[in-house]
Amino acid sequence: MRIKPRIVLMSALVTAGLLVAPTARAVATAPIDPRPSTAKLAVQLHKLAVQSHGKVRVTSIGRSNENRPVWGARVGHGKLKIQYVTQQHGDEPLGTPAALEFLRRVGVGNSAWQRKLLSQVTVDIVVRANPDGHERNWRYNYDPTAKPEYGEAGKGYDINRYHDPAVASADNPATEAGLIQRRFAAFQPDIMVDYHMQGRYKDASGKEITASTMWPTHAGVKPADVNFAKQIAVVVQRSINSAGGNVSQYPGGDYQGIARNGYGLLGSGSVLVELSDIPGREQRQISDALASMLAIAHSAANGSVHTIDPAAATAIPPRGPALPGTVEEDEAA
């Protein structure tokens, strides 16, 4: 008897550890604001805290250079700890609405899958790490006195170059990077995933890439931690590709101040996710980021992430050439 294609697909998803809950690949019925204002973000976070009856715990983890709150949100009470960081670069916004939707999906409601997931994991999110950069729609934080090694003099620091474990958070010249360091040190996550955005690229076949991912590449990261990060990267790839996305490897550098390297050196399964900046695809990109967040949490909770061969990460195709109009940024610079 011939097996119906839908049954084959569901079997494959179960095997991959991706078919984890009825809502894990659900798409929002109404458009999600891709760039919530500073005020709206605060309102939405505190509304989620109320709607979840306290399951979503919201706090300010500190203040930006212009005295805006940098928000932390935490949900779950399980032993396994996951941390997501969004919008270190102020002009790369789409991870932030995905994080809000993740908190809504897992925290608001009382279904069996929600109760089980939240008993297995605790998820901490730094929601919009760079509010001052968001206000200016630029990459850096805001520091007119800055004369940075990484950033732009008179504008600010590139936050995602200032996670060197050798630099104490209190001594970090990039204020918001220091806040992330301090939150990480207090939480000690098993998994750390940093959400960014990139320009537009194609793969070897000419198909446009919708997202890229990468694990730590610094030589000092322990092989076991690199392998764990590779397993997480495969979860990212499969969760996004299963909805029609096209994930590549990100061609990142090995500098220890980059978050995926710095937190890998500190022992986390540390992964970068870069959503491509594709006009007309913003809602899909938010949905894809959400799917990856859900898949990481579920695969960690049920242990399926550990069944993935780390070598599968190296089979993720490399990112190809930039499409016209893309200004390429060197992660190592």
Which domains does the chain possess? Answer: 44-314 (3.40.630.10)
Distance CA 333, CA 155 (A): 17
In this predicted structure, what is the pLDDT of residue 163? 98
In this predicted structure, what is the pLDDT of residue 330? 63
In this predicted structure, what is the pLDDT of residue 30? 81
What's the distance, Cα to Cα, between the start and end of the chain in Å? 58
In this predicted structure, what is the pLDDT of residue 104? 98
> Does this model's pTM top 0.95?
no
| Per-residue DSSP letter, 202 | E
pLDDT mean values, one per 10 residues, the chain (333 residues): 36 41 52 97 98 98 98 98 98 98 98 98 98 98 97 98 98 98 98 98 97 98 98 98 97 97 98 97 98 98 98 97 83 52
Distance CA 308, CA 312 (A): 8
Q: pLDDT by residue (tens digit) across 42-74?
A: 999 999 999 999 999 999 999 999 999 999 999
Q: From start to end of the chain, where are the E strands?
A: 57-63, 69-76, 80-86, 121-127, 151-152, 156-157, 191-198, 201-202, 208-209, 211-214, 247-249, 269-276
Distances from the Cα of 99 to the Cα of 167, 185, 315, angstroms: 28, 21, 28
B/e letters for 205-242, b = 16+ CB within 10 Å, e = fewer, are eeeebbbbbbbbbbeebeeebbbbbbbbbbbbbbbbbb
